[in-house]
Amino acid sequence: MKPMGMCPVACYVMLGILTACTTSSPAPPTASSPTPVVTQPTPQIRASDRMFHWHEEAQELHTMAMHREREAELMLRKTPGPTTQEFVKHMRQLAHQLHQAATYADVQAKEAEREIPPGMIQQFHSALR
């Protein structure tokens, strides 16, 4: 497969992943029971879960972006030419979009962190390290 044929597929896959990560819908019920048991977590737990989720997302997206940038540079060194330059351009655009998505995830993590009581924040930051 030509390098150009892989870029649109990768872009569509990434857009699908990013869309899935940013949309939240309730999961369909798996079992029907006459009296459903529903437990509501405390707001602090939900905020902390969101903070961890978005923090992890941001790290993974930044890592993916750095890999795409490295791949583009390696490809450019190995096989210079107009086709490769176009491919590298698309890879860099994808890396830029991944960095933007990671920045969005960082912002979401910070927003969730603001909902957590200050005493608990220290515990979470030590757990992230």
pLDDT tens, position by position, 24-74: 444 444 444 444 444 455 555 588 888 889 999 999 999 999 999 999 999
Contact 99, 65 (CB under 8 A): yes
The per-residue pLDDT for 29 is 47
Q: pLDDT tier at 105 (50, 70, 90 boundaries)?
A: very high
The per-residue pLDDT for 65 is 97
The per-residue pLDDT for 30 is 47
The tens digit of pLDDT for each residue in 74-102 reads 999 999 888 889 999 999 999 999 999 99
DSSP string over 26-61: PPPPSS--SS----PPPHHHHHHHHHHHHHHHHHHH
The tens digit of pLDDT for each residue in 4-24 reads 444 444 544 455 555 554 444
